[in-house]
Structure 1
């Protein structure tokens, strides 16, 4: 039978869109006992401090007042002295284009109440599942499109300029459009949570197959969904709602491609990158299949594994055996 993979991949889209939207609403159920266990988070808006100073003395004071930010984010140790760093920052501060960008950030992010609330909920959930988690300080900053997110155990810095609306005239010049489209405010919290997942996502370095890569990302996305149960899947994986729905509609077709081409235990990095690397599409499956589709498939496998075995989230993240997770998942494409 002859078929056009482009049209095949778009079949059943309206039905799946309806299903996907309702599925997220039904599963959204925040636990008030978890949320009450953590004090409210307060985000420090450093762009307001660093882009309103008028003298070297004020700039030096800021560098002393925020030593963790100065050391880790501004990397003061790469300079001969703090004086040199202060001079460079003051020069950036006085640039007319940077001042214009600062004004646009202030206009588009007049307050961060919702971001604070969402991050507080996320940190409460992480601490519930992982009691050793230390809530980091959270700063926002105007990076001049040099750093979108800085995340460590102690501090998180959000470059708000990266998350201006995608139709805004200021855009990062080094990102292709299909990636830049994911840089909007709704993506900030899931990006942060997915990054934090890597601290707990244990891997076996001897398992270097496509399957191992798929399971790694599957665990990361499963972690993020567990921490953010009300977050739609599209903001977690960075697909549009239509792409998520289309993937579910064609899951059997996607899975058959992996099986028929004997891909799961492929170890060639170039081949692995075709299915898990950043790309506008997974062309080897269909020109309309979104990129990184191996990550999405790994997410489904991990979901099935945890659902069928009812194991705690921390135990899932500790499991380094990707092949075992796959075998025990009982995964089958949804009909």
Structure 2
């Protein structure tokens, strides 16, 4: 982070996170990586595109019941036979087959994704022993579903993660589509998994509560993937991250002067938390989701200053307490 840190604080950061923000010097914890845990991604798109008859699809639907229920939403059909007959028609579509061929070429080897996911699962298991490794599938949905993460399974719509310059692109705004590349994939999954450990107070509907919730989510992801650049966790480019830190005092003063922390109007909250190309309430140069970014800074300070463990942090539903005990103050630009 582009902050003026004292030597003591810097040393503390280095102790808590072996690599901190210096990704080039990062080293993963070998004791954590030596756990007996393996991840094997099943390439379901290959099996579904090789199928030819309704009976073939019916067999696949019965073989992968979690995928059938969660991803293909079998409950929307009268029975599995009806779904299998529709799948025959869908997979005969020439455009979808061209898309599948593109995905097969681009993701011929997904061993790097598999390894990164396995390392992340080992870190989660280290901090949260109750974590059970889900089944992991890939698929080509024709841009119908990008990512599903439940306790039992993860389904990755690989078509969403084609390179940004590829002919096939999902129908979404560019500022969001820029984050749909393979380097963002595992951090997205880990951030989604964080929600099952991220305790909240359902009665607290303030902007501050939203900020802390996302701050805990991003902090979790960084702890689980300590060698991953912040860019791939929050989705800001390195240039935007640097500029945002340079303007942290100005951004924070906007929140304070406008008494935003305890705002409960959902339309106001969305201005600072929701997806947008920029936060125009502050400036057209302020990136969208700026409240999430501020929440991450507050949570970082809370954990460093209070020296709580990751599981203790995630189990704390008290956003007000986290904020007050963080001692958060924006740092002046370097």
Same fold (TM over 0.5): yes
CA shift for structure 1 position 25: 2.1
Give the corresponding residue for 1:321: 318
Give the corresponding residue for 2:10: none
Give the corresponding residue for 1:288: 285
Deviates more, 1:234-243 or 1:24-33: 24-33
- Residue 22 of structure 2 aligns to a residue in which SS? helix
Match 2:187 to one of 187, 190, 194:
190
Distance 2:318 2:63 in 1: 45
Give the corresponding residue for 1:237: 234
Residue 89 (str. 1) matches residue 91 (str. 2): no
- Cα displacement string for residues 49-98 of structure 1 (whole angstroms, at most 9, x for unaligned residues): 00111222222221122122112221222211211111111111111001
**Superposed, which structure 2 residues align to 1:110-121 within 5 Å?**
110-121=108-119
CA shift for structure 1 position 271: 1.1
Match 1:73 to one of 71, 74, 92:
71
- Residue 137 of structure 2 aligns to a residue in which SS? strand
Give the corresponding residue for 2:5: none
- Cα displacement string for residues 14-50 of structure 1 (whole angstroms, at most 9, x for unaligned residues): xxxxxxx993326723111111113221100000000
**Superposed, which structure 2 residues align to 1:100-119 within 5 Å?**
100-119=98-117
- Residue 207 of structure 1 aligns to a residue in which SS? coil
CA shift for structure 1 position 264: 1.1
Residue 137 (str. 1) matches residue 135 (str. 2): yes
Residue 98 (str. 1) matches residue 96 (str. 2): yes
Give the corresponding residue for 1:61: 59
Ranges in structure 2 where 5+ consecutive residues have no aligned partner: 1-18
Ranges in structure 1 where 5+ consecutive residues have no aligned partner: 1-20
- Residue 51 of structure 1 aligns to a residue in which SS? helix
Give the corresponding residue for 2:11: none
- Residue 202 of structure 1 aligns to a residue in which SS? coil
Residue 210 (str. 1) matches residue 213 (str. 2): no
CA shift for structure 1 position 247: 0.8
In the alignment, is the contact (CA less than 8 A) between 2:20 and 2:226 conserved in 1? no
- Cα displacement string for residues 153-199 of structure 1 (whole angstroms, at most 9, x for unaligned residues): 001000000000111111112x1111111100011101000011111
Q: How many equivalent residue pairs?
A: 314
Match 1:267 to one of 244, 264, 267:
264
Residue 180 (str. 1) matches residue 183 (str. 2): no
Give the corresponding residue for 1:225: 222
Distance 1:228 1:327 in 2: 27
Match 2:126 to one of 128, 132, 139:
128
Distance 1:122 1:53 in 2: 33
In the alignment, is the contact (CA less than 8 A) between 1:38 and 1:120 conserved in 2? no
Distance 2:238 2:260 in 1: 27
> TM-score normalized by structure 2?
0.91
Distance 2:65 2:327 in 1: 50
CA shift for structure 1 position 119: 0.3
- Cα displacement string for residues 290-318 of structure 1 (whole angstroms, at most 9, x for unaligned residues): 00101000000000000001111111011
Match 1:40 to one of 35, 38, 46:
38
In the alignment, is the contact (CA less than 8 A) between 1:27 and 1:229 conserved in 2? no
- Residue 138 of structure 1 aligns to a residue in which SS? strand
In the alignment, is the contact (CA less than 8 A) between 1:24 and 1:231 conserved in 2? no
Deviates more, 1:224-233 or 1:66-75: 66-75
> TM-score normalized by structure 1?
0.91
- Residue 27 of structure 2 aligns to a residue in which SS? coil
